[in-house]
Amino acid sequence: MLRCSTVVQRGWHARRLVRLVLLILACGPLDNGVAGAAEVAPSGDTEVAHDQLVLARAIDVDLPVREHVWFEAGSNDGLAYAFTLAEGHRIVVEVGEAFAGTLTLDYIGVDLDGTTTELESLEFDDGGHRAERSGRYLLHIDPEPDWSGSAPIEVRKAPSLTFPVRGKNAQAIQSFFGAPRERGRRSHHGVDIFAARGTETVAATAGFVAFVGVNRLGGNVVFLRDATYDYFYYYAHLQDASVSTGQWVEAGDPIGRVGTSGNARGGSPHLHFGIYRHGPIDPLPFVHDRVRSPVPVTAETTQLGELMRTKARTFARETPNEKARSVLTLERGAAARPIAIRGSWYRVRLPDGREGWVAPRRLQAVERPLSVFRTEVPIPLFVAPLESSTIATTLPAGTDVEVLARSGDAEWVRANTGETGWRLAPG
C-alpha cells in the first residue's frame, strides 16, 4: 500500500502503475450482477431497474480525475464513475499496481423519453477505449471479493488519433468545426491546422489510402480509410501528396505536405483535416492533445478506511470544494470513514452508507472519549448502528465504557475490556 502522497506521485512517474485490461462483457453478467443489458436481458425491465441502481450509486466526475481509493474486503461495493466522452475521445484508466480486481466500461444508453437508461458493455484494451459515440459512460472498478486496501486511480481523456501535422499539436488549430463559411451558406466540416508551408502531414491512424486527387475547394487532397473503425480522414490544401491510392500506411507515416491549394490559395498554409463517417464529424476530440492534468492527491492516505469522527459540526459537500452544495450535516463526534481522497479532500462514508466530501482538518481519530459511563444492565453492542445488524458482543453490567463517536442516536463505544461496537439508542 502506498503510504503518502509523495510516494503516490513518485510511483506515478516511475510507471509503477499498471494499466489493467478491461473485460469484455457481452458474454454475460459480472460477479456483481452488472450486465450488458442489451445482450443478456430476456426482459428489459429488471435489468433497466438494476442499471438505474448502479447509476444512482455512480459518482459523477469531470475528467481528468485522480483519486486514492480505499476498498473494503467483502463489501462488494466497488466504485463507479460516470462521465461524458465525445466521439473520438480515448479514455485511459490507470490503477495502482497493488489493486487486484476488474475494470469494466459501459455506455449509458438513454431512451427517447430521456428517463430510462440501459448499460451497454464496451471493450477495453491496454490502450484504453476509443469512444465511438458522444454521451455518458460508466466505469466500474471492482476489487476481488477478498481484496482490501487502497490504490491510486486516474481516469483521463486522450486523443484517439496521431496528430496529423508533424511537430504540431492542437494549439495549431485556428479554425474549428462548424464555423460559418461563405457568409453562412455552409459550415466548416473540419479543423484547420496551421503550419509552415511544406510541413509534413502524417497518417492519423493505420489504414488504406482511399483517394489521392484534386478538387475545387480542397485542392490537392487525400482520403485515408481507417483500418479498424468506420471513418475516413480527409487531408486538404496539400502542397503535394506523398502517397498513392490503395497504399497501406501506419499511424505517423507521411501523407503529404502542408500548402495552400484549393480555396486556401492566397491564405496562410494550413491542413484542412476532416473526419467523415455517415457525415462530417468534429475532429477536435480525435486530435485534442492539450489535455489537462488531474488535481494531484495531497491529503494523507494513511487514514483511509479508518473510522474517524468530526471535531465539530461539519457540512459534508457534494463535491470536494468548500463552496459546493452541502449534502449532509454532521454533528460534533459524528462517525465518518474516509474512503477516498481527491486533491486535499476526503470522501467519507457514514455508517448508514451516505457519502459526502469533508476537509481532513475537520476530522479526528477516535481516541479520546467524548463521554464515559458505566453499564447498569447488560447491553448488546452491534456491528452496525442498525436494529437489523448483528450483535457483536454483550457487555455485562458494571462495565466502564467510553463513547468514541456517534451516528444519529447510536454510539460507537469501547469497553474497558477493549471490545468495541455500536450501542443503539442509549438512554
Q: Which residues bind Zn ion (CB under 5 A)?
A: 190, 192, 272
C-alpha distances in Å from residue 234, one per residue of 87, 171, 250, 334: 17, 20, 16, 60
Helix (H) or strand (E) holding 172: none
**Shorter beta-carbon distance to Zn ion: residue 207 or 283:** 283
Shortest Å, Cβ 263 to Zn ion: 9
Nearer to Zn ion, 118 or 192 (CB): 192
| Residue 179: CB minimum distance to Zn ion, A | 8
CA atoms within 13 A on the CB side of 102: 16
CB nearer to Zn ion: give 175 or 420: 175
Q: Is 164 or 190 the residue whose CB approaches Zn ion more closely?
A: 190
Decide: residue 59, CB within 10 A, 0-12 exposed, 13-18 middle, 19+ buried.
Answer: middle
The DSSP code for 263 is G
Q: Measured at CB, which residue is nearest to Zn ion?
A: 272
Euclidean distance between CA atoms 163 and 103, whole angstroms: 28
Dihedral sign computed on CA atoms, order 123, 125, 131, 137:
positive
**Nearer residue to Zn ion within complex by CB, 175 or 364:** 175
CB of 229 to Zn ion, least distance (A): 22
Cα 246 to Cα 223, 224, 230, 345: the distances in Å are 10, 9, 17, 55
CB of 192 to Zn ion, least distance (A): 4
- What single string gives the DSSP state of each residue in 342-411? ETTEEEEE-TTS-EEEE-GGGEEES-S-SEEEE-SS-EEEESSSSTTSPEEEEEPTT-EEEEEEEETTEE
- Nearest to Zn ion of 57, 188 (CB atom): 188
Q: How far is the CB of 190 from Zn ion (least distance, A)?
A: 5
Q: How far is the CB of 193 from Zn ion (least distance, A)?
A: 9
